[in-house]
Amino acid sequence: MAPMRMIYLALAIWGAIHPMYYFISWFNANGYDLMAMVDAWHVNAATSGLVWDLTIAAVTLTIWIISEVAVRRNWLALIAIPATFCIGVSCGLPLYLFLRSRPVT
Beta-carbon count within 10 A of 4 CB: 11
**Higher pLDDT among residues 11 and 103, named by residue:** 11
Give the Å distances, CA to CA, from 19 to 3, 15, 29, 70: 24, 7, 16, 30
pLDDT value for 105? 66
* 93 pLDDT above the threshold of 70: yes
pLDDT value for 1? 82
**C-alpha to C-alpha distance for 87 and 15, rounded to whole angstroms:** 8
pLDDT in tens, 33-92: 999 999 999 999 999 999 999 999 999 999 999 999 999 999 999 999 999 999 999 999
pLDDT value for 103? 82
Query: Is the pTM above the cut of 0.75?
Result: yes
